[in-house]
A and B are shown apart, each in its own frame.
Chain A
């Protein structure tokens, strides 16, 4: 079995020591490769054009095995959010008041991505005042390269 997440190996005390890195599986790898180029793309059926997430080998709509990766606008809305408190992995516990959010994409609301709301692409996970979090708030994607070299999408408030 392929490990899906792994810890970052080098430490960056300001932001992200030992945060978990995504370890892509075969279906998910293109998402992370596009993210590394600053593109938010979602898997789509090459035959019937249905978007699907998480990525998988076969289209649940028409059973085609042909896929393409459709570029998204990177705009969305907060669908829900939580504020995790300890006990947590140390790197997350060191950022008290951090958030995890689910974003529904503007052009495909049933495609929802888990992420973090931050004040800037490279800002800490707790850089946004929790009081600013609101379901329905418009957000836009930015890209942050984690220690270890993996790029993940993060989210900024459209109206900070």
Chain B
């Protein structure tokens, strides 16, 4: 066995811009603001940054960011594919680079103007990877349609209901109602609102879909030893994993043997293998929620319950504060902001610092996941 990632690095700083449907500043400006804030949070000078990681879908590139913030010589940079599947892997790539001496101060970020930006399904000439020819002509146009197809099958196979999906939407909304930075702060959700909401792609309604948000976030990763000298309490990267299952096809994963065991299952096996902890030790979870059905699918994949039991897991307030597994305590993509899941990472850090607006008492371990349904990634953080 070679070096292990286990607790070798830590997230030392986090930063974010305001979240809104529309922000006036450019993605580049927002990215710089989030990164500078994260470095300030850590107490590290921008000139010390020598590593960058973001998503392939991130449109502000590291050359421009490094210049703008005043980074020094950069010795590691990487980008992770598959949209929201890349969030946790950005931190994982920095952790690996720092643990192996490729760099010493890494910044991961996501800046996104989706609230103001174009909607890809409105562009008939958009170029798509291979699955497009097998799906788009038939009117399977948007991610909501693609995940709706899996959701319908999941409901059919396991008796999951819209009430189960509502449990997910409600838990996220309740936490956003506690979070002044959330877009859905002070905007409660009721079961009646959910059940009478307009459809987006049956069986998914408006509240099963994430927000459209402008905003940016960043975090700073350093060696564990260095983190102990920073301004904030270190949040250790205990384990990290990516997951691309055999014969997986991305969001339209209808073609492998078992489309309901998605990338979460693959990432989870590796995540737990590299950890001293198991699902039973997780105090709070930030699970990627671009669509509500991703939560029961992920609960199963990461081993919080058995196959087909993810919907039932949401019953009885299990995902609320005080429940079995408090979920998405900043409000998540459904109700805080949808920034390709990066806010789930920073919220995990807040929980382990004890500074969340919906703090789980004595939270010491947090699972953070990236997009399920696409090649994904996950982090197990500990205080």
Which residues of A are at the interface with B, using a C-beta cutoff of 8 A?
1, 3-7, 18-25, 27-28, 32, 53-54, 60, 79-85, 87-89, 92, 95, 98, 100, 102, 110-116, 125, 130, 135, 146, 150, 152
Contact = CB atoms under 8 A, between A and B. Distances in A.
Interface in B108-155: 119, 121-122, 124-142, 144-145, 148-150, 152-153
A3 B148 CA distance: 25
A54 B201 contact: no
Interface in B254-300: 254-257
A135 B130 contact: no
A131 B263 CA distance: 33
B149 A81 contact: yes
17 contacts: A4-B127, A4-B129, A4-B133, A22-B133, A54-B131, A82-B203, A83-B202, A84-B145, A85-B199, A85-B202, A89-B124, A100-B135, A100-B139, A100-B140, A100-B145, A115-B138, A135-B156
Given A4-B132, A22-B133, A114-B134, A87 B148 contact: no
The 7 A-B pairs with the shortest beta carbon distances in the complex, nearest first, are: A4-B132, A83-B202, A80-B153, A82-B148, A22-B133, A7-B124, A85-B199
| Size bin of chain B's contact surface | 35 or more
A115 B256 CA distance: 17
A25 B148 CA distance: 26
A146 B137 CA distance: 10
A3 to B, nearest CB: 5
Contacts of A146: 137
Contacts of A88: 121, 139, 141-142
Given A54-B130, A114-B140, 9 more contacts: A19-B137, A80-B149, A80-B254, A84-B200, A85-B202, A87-B121, A92-B141, A114-B254, A115-B138
Interface in B153-175: 153, 156
Contacts of A115: 138
B353 interface: no
Contacts of B125: 3, 6-7
The listed residue with most B CB atoms (<10 A of its CB), out of A3, A22, A102, A146, is A102
Contacts of A24: 133
A31 to B, nearest CB: 9
Contacts of B257: 110
B191 interface: no
A150 B138 CA distance: 13
Interface of B: 119, 121-122, 124-142, 144-145, 148-150, 152-153, 156, 198-204, 247, 249, 252, 254-257
A7 B131 CA distance: 16
A140 to B, nearest CB: 16
A10 B247 CA distance: 38
B138 A100 contact: yes
A28 B323 CA distance: 49
Contacts of B122: 87, 89
A28 B255 CA distance: 15
Contacts of A20: 124, 136-137
A146 B119 CA distance: 25
A81 B134 contact: no
A83 B131 CA distance: 20
Nearest to A99: B139
Contacts of A98: 139
Contacts of A80: 149-150, 152-153, 156, 254
B149 A5 contact: no
A110 B203 contact: no
A85 B201 contact: yes
Contact of A89 (B128, B131, B135, B141): B141
A123 B129 CA distance: 29
Contacts of B149: 80-82, 100, 102
Contact of B138 (A6, A79, A83, A114): A114
B93 to A, nearest CB: 25
